[in-house]
Structure 1
C-alpha cells in the first residue's frame, strides 16, 4: 500500500478550512456584542427599573439624563422670564372699504369742452372736474329772460286798464262782467310772470350743471370721458369715480361669542384700538379705532360685523384690500412673561423647565393667564428673572445637568422645538395646542 505524500493529510492550509475559521471569529464578535449590550442596558437603568424589568424605560435616563452614565450635560437654550402686561386681542379677517365713494355723472346733455383733473389726482370738494359747453343753456336763459320782460310789460298794461275800468264801473259806464274780465287778465299775466321766472331759474340751474365739481374730497380714478365727447344725463357709466381714502374704513367679522365683551366696552364709552396687518399677518399697516358694530348676527356663519376707522394719512390702506385685524379689548396686568416655546404640557398639567443656580433644571408647574402671539403670560409658577428652557427640553427631566445658552431673542426655532418637547418628565407629549386665533394677534415679531 502506498502512503500518501507528507502534508496530504493536513487540512490547515486547505481552502475548505478557511471558512470554518472565519465563522468562528464571527461568533466571537457577536457574543461579545451581546455581553456589552446587556452590561450597558443594566448600567443605564435606575434601581426601580431594575426591580421591575417589565416597566418601560424612562426617557431622559442613560446618556442624556441624570442617571446611567452619570454626568452627561445637556446643552439648552434659555430665556429670562420678564414682568410685563399682556394685551388681549380678538382677531378677524377684514376688508378695507372707502368711507365715501361717488360716481360723478353729468346732469345735462352736452359736449365736454374741458377735463380739469388728472387720473389719480387728489381733489378737494368743490374743485372743477369737467366743463360742459354752456352755450345752449345760456341761450335758453336769455329766451326765458325775454319772455319774462314781455309778460311783465303786458301785465303792466293790463293793470293800467283795470284801474280805468274800475273808474268807469263806478260811474256805471261798463258792466261788472267787463271789469271782472280785465281783473282776470291781470291774474293771467301774474301767472305767466311766475312761469317765466321758473324758466329762468331752471336755465340758470342747467348752466351750473355744465360746471361739474367734486362733491367730496378724495382721489379720482381713471377717467371715463375725454374732451369732445357728448354726454347725457342718462349715461350709467359716469364721468369719473372719486374715492375718499382719508379717513378710510375696515369691515371685519368676529365670532358671536365675543359680542358681549365688545359691546360692553362700547357702551361704556371705551375707545377700542384696532390694528390692521398685512395678508401674512406679520407687518402692521395702520392703527385705528373701532367705530361701531352691526345690529345683527349672521346666522349662517355665527359672526357679526364691525366697522373701524383709520386716518390713513400715508394711504397705506386701499379700498378692497384684504387685511388681518387685531382688536384690543383688554390688557392683563402684572404677569410673568415667557416665550411660548418654554411651555410644556402633560398629564400633570402645564409646566416649564427652570434653570437653577447650579445649572440643573427644575420642573415648575405654571398657570397660563393669557397667550398673545409667541408670548405667554403666567400668573404663578415662575418669578421674574428665572431662566426657562426654550430649546432642548426633549433631553431633560427634573434635576438634569445643563449648559445654558441665553437666547438672542429670536425664538422661531425654539417655538418649533417646543412642539416636539416631552409632555411630562419621563413621557413624550403631543404638540402644544395652538392658541385660539381670536387671541393670537398681540405683540408681533
Structure 2
C-alpha cells in the first residue's frame, strides 16, 4: 500500500505544478494574452464632409500648338525643352533676311510712287486753274487728274505692301502666346520649315489647370443645388500623395447628358501653383457638397455584416465584448458614419472580429505588436489612426 500512496502523492504534486504553471500570472509573464487579441479605435464625433467621388483626368488649362506663319530656315531655338515660359517670350527665329529685303523693296516702291503722286497732285492742281481760266481743255485736265488719282491708289497699295512685309518680318520671331510649359521640340535648328505645316512645339498652360470627370446623371440635381448655394470644393488626390490632396473648385457642368453612358461631364479648376497636377494624369476626385455636423464616425473595418445586418463589437470597460447592431451612413476616407448604434467615446474592434462572440474577453493590441494589459494602455492617437 505504501508504494501506491507515494505514487498518488506524486501525481497530486504534478497536477499542482501544472496548474501553477498555467495560472494567469504565469501566462501573463510568459507573454501569452489573457483574451482574444484585437485592435481597437474610439468612435469620435466630428463634422464630416458629404462627398461624391469619381476618377478624373487632368487637362491643360490651355494648349497651343506652335507653327510658323512664314517659310524659311529655323535659325534659332530660344528655349530648353520642358522650360516654363511666359506670354511674349521669344521661342524661335526664322531667318528674317529675305523678308527684310522684301520690306526694303516695298518701302522703296512706296517712296518712289509717293514722289510721283506728289508731282501728279501738283500738276493736277495747276491744270485745274488753267481749265478754270479756259487755257486748257477738259480732256487735258481730266488726264492729269486721273493720273493723280491712279498714283494715289498706287501709293496706298505700296503702303499696304510695306505693312504686310513688316508683318512677315515679325512672323520670323515666334513668341509664346500664353504662359505655360513647353514640351518636346519637334523641329531642330537648321531645318527649313513651311508656313502652317509642321508643329514646332506644344505649350501647355498648367497654372491654373483643369480636372475633368463624369458622374451619374442621377447626381445632377444635387450638384446643381449646391453649386447654386455657393462654391463647391473639389479635391484631386494623387495615388502617390494621398495625404495632401490638391484643392480646386467646380466651375462647369455640361449642358447635356451622355445618353449612352448615363453620365454628366463636369470640370473643376485648380490653381496648381506647385504643379502637383500634370496634364493627362488620372486622379481620384472628391466633390464636397456640404458638411454633416457632429456625426459619429468609426473606421470602416469596424463595421461587420451578419445575418441580421450590420454590427460592431463594442469593448466594455472590463475588456469584454458586446455585440451591437448599427445603422451605417456614408463612408469617406476609410471611415464610416454610424447613424445609430454607437456613441462617441465607445471603443470598437477594428481587427480580430472572427474570433469574437458577445461576452468574449479581449486584449487590445497596439501598433507595435505588443499586448496591452489594460484598455487605457491604448492612447487616443493610436485609437484614431487607421491603417
User: TM-score over 0.5 for the alignment?
Assistant: yes
Residue equivalent to 2:102: 140
> Does the residue aligned with 1:246 lie in a helix, a strand or coil?
strand
Which of the pair has more CA radius of gyration? Answer: 1
Q: Tell me: higher relative CO, structure 1 or 2? Use CA pairs within 8 A at least 6 residues apart.
A: 2
Pair 1:409–1:82, CA change in 2 (3 A): farther
Pair 1:381–1:189, CA change in 2 (3 A): same
> Does the Cα contact within 8 Å between 2:59 and 2:280 map onto a contact in 1?
yes
Query: Structure 2: how far apart are the matches of 1:170 and 1:195?
Result: 32
Query: Structure 2: how far apart are the matches of 1:231 and 1:240?
Result: 13
The equivalences for 1:30-429 within 5 A come to 74-235=36-197, 237-278=198-239, 282=242, 284=244, 286-398=246-358, 400-405=359-364, 408=367
* Comparing 133-142 and 189-198, the one that deviates more: 133-142
Residue equivalent to 2:372: none
> Does the Cα contact within 8 Å between 2:214 and 2:264 map onto a contact in 1?
yes
CA deviation vs aligned residue, 1:315-347 (integer Å, no higher than 9, x gap)? 222211122222222222211212222223344
Q: Which runs of 5+ in 2 are unaligned?
A: 1-33, 370-384
CA deviation vs aligned residue, 1:26-71 (integer Å, no higher than 9, x gap)? xxxxxxxxxxxxxxxxxxxxxxxxxxxxxxxxxxxxxxxxxxxxxx
> Does the residue aligned with 2:206 lie in a helix, a strand or coil?
coil
What displacement does 1:276 show? 2.6
> Does the residue aligned with 2:118 lie in a helix, a strand or coil?
helix
What displacement does 1:128 show? 1.0
> Does the Cα contact within 8 Å between 2:232 and 2:288 map onto a contact in 1?
no
Pair 1:339–1:167, CA change in 2 (3 A): closer
Residue equivalent to 1:7: none
> Does the residue aligned with 2:291 lie in a helix, a strand or coil?
strand
Pair 1:75–1:444, CA change in 2 (3 A): closer
Pair 1:370–1:187, CA change in 2 (3 A): same
Residue equivalent to 1:65: none
Query: Structure 2: how far apart are the matches of 1:152 and 1:295?
Result: 58
More strand, by proportion: 2
* Comparing 247-256 and 172-181, the one that deviates more: 172-181
Pair 1:112–1:358, CA change in 2 (3 A): closer
Query: Structure 1: how far apart are the matches of 2:212 and 2:86?
Result: 26
What displacement does 1:361 show? 2.5
> Does the Cα contact within 8 Å between 2:233 and 2:247 map onto a contact in 1?
no
What displacement does 1:272 show? 1.9
Query: Structure 2: how far apart are the matches of 1:392 and 1:134?
Result: 77
Query: Structure 1: how far apart are the matches of 2:201 and 2:257?
Result: 36
